[in-house]
Amino acid sequence: RTKTNDAAKQTGHSTHDIVADCVSRLSDHAVSTLPNLQHIKRTVQRIRQRHKNLLSLPTNRDSLLIDTQHIKTARGRTFLQFDSGLIDQRILIFSTKKQLKMFKNANSIYLDGIFSVVPELYFQLYTSHATLKKKSVE
């Protein structure tokens, strides 16, 4: 278990490879007592996600500071398109330029304000969706 946890946190290997490597080191008896492999893989993914997400959640809106490391996608594209600043009715808009261009060419655009799934610190999550050549784009 410790080797699996360490591999999930410290390597870039796939979940499948981590589980396969750890299972291959076990005795037949130990393998027979393991839970379902899908369950083990999900556990590895959760460990990796928790380890990667080291940011603490803000306790109030004033402490919500977004550093430059977290305004871009993994491919280096700008994702935070707008930030109204540290005001009471703060607005943040997340999207890539490519997604914005898709909205420009969309057949239909749908907007939805969601209240129930938003953490207490926030008031509303507003999402936009578009239909582009009969495919939905979010």
Q: How far is CA 53 from CA 46, 49, 58, 87, in A?
A: 10, 6, 14, 26
Instruction: Give the Cα separation of 25 and 4 in Å (integer).
Output: 11
Domain count, the chain: 2
Structure confidence at residue 132 as a pLDDT band (50, 70, 90): confident
User: Does residue 57 have a pLDDT over 90?
Assistant: no
In this model, does residue 81 exceed pLDDT 90?
yes
> Is 80 exceeded by the pLDDT of residue 5?
yes
In a domain, 34, yes or no: yes
Do 31 and 88 lie in a common domain? no
Query: In terms of domains, do 41 and 75 share one?
Result: no
> Do both 76 and 125 map to the same domain?
yes
* Domain carrying residue 102: 63-137
pLDDT, mean over the chain? 85
Cα distance between residue 24 and residue 105, in whole Å: 52
82 has pLDDT over 90: yes
Identity at 131, one-letter amino acid code: T
Residue 79 — pLDDT band, cuts 50, 70, 90?
Answer: very high
Task: Clarify whether residues 74 and 118 are in a common domain.
Answer: yes
Residues 11, 67 share a domain:
no
Asked whether residue 53 carries a pLDDT value surpassing 80, the answer given is no
38 within domain boundaries: yes
Same domain, 40 and 16: yes
d(CA 87, CA 45): 36
pLDDT bucket at 80, cuts 50 / 70 / 90: very high
Tell me if 57 is assigned to some domain.
no
- Asked, for residue 115, whether it belongs to a domain, the answer is yes
Q: Are residues 47 and 68 in the same domain?
A: no
> Token digits for 24?
């291959």
pLDDT for 95 equals 92
